[in-house]
Amino acid sequence: MKKLAITAIALSFLLSACSSNNTSEVPPTITQEPSYANVSVHDPSVVRVDDTFYVFGSHLASAKSEDLMEWTQVSDIVRTGNPLIPNVHEELSEALSWAETQTLWAADVIQLADGRYYMYYNACRGDSPLSAMGVAIADNIEGPYKDAGIFLKSGMTKEMSHDGTPYDATKHPNAVDPDTFFDKDGKLWMVYGSYSGGIFILEMDQETGFPLPDQGYGKKLVGGNHSRIEAPYMQYSPETGYYYLFLSYGGLDSFGGYNIRVARSKTPDGPFLDPQGQDMLDSKGAEGSVFDDLSIEPYGAKLMGGYQFEASDGTTAGYVAPGHNSTYYDEEDGEYFMFFHTRFPDGGEFHEVRVHQFFMNADGWPVVAPYRYSGEKLGSYSENQVRGDYQLINHGKDITAEVKEADTITLAKNGKITGDVEGTWKLEGENNAELTIDGVTYKGKFVQGWSEAEEKELTTFTALSDEGVSIWGSRIVTASE
């Protein structure tokens, strides 16, 4: 961040006792100071059982929470005695043997009509797409799960692939990262894939939990030629009528540039388009390339990458390589939540689960709240209440290990944006934000957020451009607050 200087205009608002721009007059939407308990689950996939949210991830790790803030670890690491699959090395020996590994990757759990819980597990060698995917079933969400068998393999060299041709990693999928979901009509599907030949979708049998026959690897949606695209997750929105395909681009480690993107379609099997109208089938590496990030950067709306805000005491806080997300839509409250793992600045490969609320902007695209979920609700604002000085993060469209730092801007009384960038802004309706910066218009929401660094509730904004670039704003805390 370049500076935290407060403009004369903003300062006059803060010092005026009768000014309606005073941040204390913003109607609070966080009813009490949040309390957090953190857990570590890589690649968290969410499922709700009654009033409890569970996340299942890689290495047979899982956790649960009733409020999305205080989490309890349920299981960790692939080991004998793991409560999910106590005899895991014996129970899943076929998958582990095929993949030449002793661990498991991103699991996904769903409850089917018989009331039982179906865990879609996957094992992968890692340095090649030698992988196996199967399903294990339990009567209780916390296990124990019993293997029902493998239904998908990849990376084979001595046998034909599932479509009857020799396996080709540039066009065939890696059989990992499953997300099994119901469409709006109650039909069961599974989207999956990582790197290699891309992201695919299969029609599933609700009675058995296995794919319907004669589909091969299914229908391709995204990727190819070893492009770094993985972690597909599907979310239908009754509000917009779209299916949103969330993806992670880049490498998952702290120097890989991991970031979360999204595209949408009116049907679960595509075609999926980004905000520019580009077909995601074209998001793939150049022929003959490996990890060609430049070819895929232009595709998909980039919702979040590595970033950091600066606190009033000069310290910084943010995320590094956030990704492999899942989502949940609360039909009763009409709220959307995003679950993901993230690393942290100067934190190496250490990672934790985070949950952020997200919203649909005026064009029907997701925009993610800048701060982790704290019980906030969308509120009603006046222009006076949102004017002032903000830190601004521009997430860009690049796949980079660089952590985006904040600029300083002012949302001024005359509808102008001044500071490190310039433009215009306006509030539409109760909380719709529209900002135009350097000729690019971003649409989103104003929403209250809880800054753990400041230990304060702050006004924030989140918005997305037609180019698929996200910006976040967080009100600057002044010495008088």
Question: Apex CA 248: angle with CA 277 and CA 108, to 5°?
Answer: 115
Active-site residue, 43 included: yes
Q: How far apart, in whole angstroms, are the C-alpha atoms of residue 344 and residue 99?
A: 31
What is the C-alpha separation between 458 and 1, in angstroms, rounded? 18
183: Cβ contacts below 8 Å, ≥ 6 apart: 189, 236, 243, 268
The whole-angstrom separation of Cα 342 and Cα 243 is: 25
Burial of 170: CB neighbours in 10 Å, binned 0-12, 13-18, 19+: middle
Contact between 102 and 161 under an 8 Å Cβ cutoff? The reply is no
Active-site residue, 230 included: yes
Cβ-Cβ contacts under 8 Å for 408 (sequence gap 6 or more): 1, 2, 3, 4, 5, 389, 390, 391, 392, 419, 420, 476
Helices (H), 3-142: 8-15, 88-91, 93-99
The tokens describing 380, both together, are: 């009603």
Phi, psi values for residue 89, rounded to 5°: -70, -30
Helix (H) or strand (E) holding 230: strand 229-237
Strand partners, 24: none
Among 43, 269, 352, 376, the one annotated catalytic:
43
Q: Are 104 and 60 in contact (CB under 8 A)?
A: yes
Given the residues 179, 230, 297, 407, the one annotated as active site: 230
DSSP state letter for 24: G
DSSP string, 145-212: -EEEEEEEEE--SSS--TTSS---TTTSPPS---EEEE-TTS-EEEEE-BSTT-EEEEEB-TTTSSBP
The answer to whether the beta carbons of residues 443 and 456 sit under 8 Å apart is: no
Catalytically active residues are: 43, 230
